[in-house]
Amino acid sequence: MNFVDKVTVTVKAGDGGQGAIAFHREKYVAAGGPDGGDGGRGGDIIVQADPNMSTLLDFRYKRKFTATDGMPGQGKRCSGKDGQDVILRVPRGTLIRDKATGAVIQDMSATDRFVLARGGRGGWGNKHFATPTRQTPHFAKPGLPGEYREVVLELKLLADVGLVGFPNVGKSTLLSVVSRANPKIADYPFTTLFPNLGVVYVGDYNSFVLADIPGIIEGASEGAGLGHDFLRHIDRCRLLIHVVDVSGDQGRDPIADFEAINAELSQYSPELAARPQLVAANKCDLLPPDSTALADFKAYVQDRGYPVFELSAAAHQGVQELIYATAARLKDLPPVTVYEPDYVAPEVKLGTADDLVIRKEGDVWLLQGDWLDRLVSRVNFADYESRMYLDRKLREAGVYDRMEAMGLQDGDTVSIAELEFEYYG
């Protein structure tokens, strides 16, 4: 199985549908009036936590997701059909981060369903704009655009306990012995290429989740080996079991290994390095009879306040004592970390009439700006009443006063979007 635990995706919710411009037409009913319906709402992008998923592999090749737009409104006051939602299924424990800032938008371990991007609201049909003095409005509102986001999906495993240590020290063997997990086990480094999870049962009513993290090496916090890629999966762990090979059959010094791993944890995250640890001195059955390595190691580690458990995972020796001690320690520790959202959406500057850019090119006055774009989007230039609505809004906003102060004269040409007209104050 391929394991993917971090991907960048782009999502776009659907745009709202255009409101309809329509009039009631029925035999023997004169001047039926406007009856254009509203546009449909654009579809949402929804993230759904799926307990049956363990990887972000589904996002390896598809990185862009777009919901459908709302349908335009219709006559007879019929609203357009809403756009269809798009549901992104992710493993529980996935963090959604803003790509630009890295801020947490949502932790999917705390919720089952989250709307990541909302669809745009549908535009009003012309039925909303009828008044006693404007009985035949020939304009309607466009739908609003759906939200667009670029996010990073980052999987952090939901495990109570994490197994850490150098490659080939027996972490996978220990996991297979205490749970029903079946990790690949072989006598060479980096046998484990992705994290494995197992549920450990202690009695009938007590259990915890144990994660086997691929072997960490010196320089892992700077990207060496596999450790840097998977250190994030022990961020949530309440307790660490530090597995050390004390047999010396690989020519390694257990004390140096113990310090090297702790140094890597500290460089990756001082908070993680301060997490409670139980130390498992593994492969004790392979020690020569006259060796003092185990005694020296225990004395060194215990002097630093860590409890040490002698075991041989392969021979099932001392394993039960370690598991009971782990369960007892977990009772005193806070629950698995849930990351609180810290994302602050950037302020959307809609602009005002004061922000309009007014310039004269030759004998034509050009107007540009976000406020004007929104105003123009509601105008039907083919309709006289709609054009008068635009003229009135420009006058009320003081746009013409600004232009006159800049030298606008009667008879000058004013250009707004697709409309050009001669100005007469």
DSSP state of 78: B
Choose between 21 and 379: higher pLDDT.
21
Confidence tier at 128 by pLDDT (50, 70, 90): confident
Give pTM, 2 decimals. 0.74
Nearest CA to 233 out of 345, 95, 358 is that of 95
The mean pLDDT value for 254-262 works out to 92
Higher model confidence: residue 19 or residue 362?
Answer: 19
Amino acid identity for residue 57 in this structure: L
The residue length of the chain stands at 425
Name beta bridge partners: 207: 201
- pLDDT: which is higher, 271 or 70: 70
Give the range among 10-24, 128-142, 281-295, 306-320 with minimum mean pLDDT.
Answer: 128-142
Give 50 or 217, the one with higher predicted confidence: 50
Confidence band, pLDDT 50/70/90 cuts, at residue 1: very low
Predicted local distance difference test score (pLDDT) of residue 13: 97
Q: What is the mean pLDDT of residues 117-136?
A: 84
* pLDDT tens by residue, 399-425: 999 999 999 988 888 888 667 788 887
Give exposure, 116-141, as e/b (b: 16+ Cβ within 10 Å).
bbbbbbbbbbbbebeeeebeebbbbb
Fold equal for 1-155 and 353-422: no
Average pLDDT score over residue span 224-236: 69
- Tell me what pLDDT residue 188 has: 44
Mean pLDDT for 364-371 is: 83
> Measured in whole angstroms, how far is the alpha carbon of residue 110 from the centre of its chain?
13
Per residue in 44-101, pLDDT tens? Answer: 999 999 988 888 988 988 999 999 999 999 998 899 999 999 999 999 999 999 999 9
pLDDT at res. 319: 95
Quick check: 236 pLDDT over 60? yes
Topology, domain 161-330: Rossmann fold (3.40.50)
Whether residue 214 has pLDDT greater than 90: no
pLDDT at 222 over 70: no
pLDDT over 80 at 395, yes or no: yes
Write the DSSP symbol of residue 317: B
User: Looking at domain 353-422, which CATH architecture does it have?
Assistant: 2-Layer Sandwich (3.30)
Question: Mean pLDDT throughout 293-322?
Answer: 94
Q: Evaluate if residue 387 carries a pLDDT over 70.
A: yes
CB 37 within 8 A of CB 78: yes
Please enumerate in sequence order all residues whose Cβ is within 8 A of that of 50, keeping only pairs 6 or more positions apart, or say none. 89, 90, 91, 92
Residue 284: the pLDDT is 94
Mean pLDDT of the chain: 86
Tell the burial category of 25 from Cβ atoms under 10 Å away from its Cβ (0-12, 13-18, 19+).
exposed
Mean pLDDT of 111-132: 89
Q: What is the per-residue pLDDT across 238-256, written as a single tens digit (0 to 9) for each?
A: 999 999 999 987 778 999 9
Provide the greatest CA pair distance for the chain: 111
Residues 87, 75: Cα–Cα separation, whole Å: 32
Domain 1-155 CATH class label:
mainly beta
Strands (E), 100-190: 104-107, 113-117, 148-155, 161-164
Query: Residue 373 pLDDT more than 50?
Result: yes
Which sequence spans correspond to the domains of the chain? 1-155, 161-330, 353-422
Question: Pick the residue with more confidence: 16 or 141?
Answer: 16
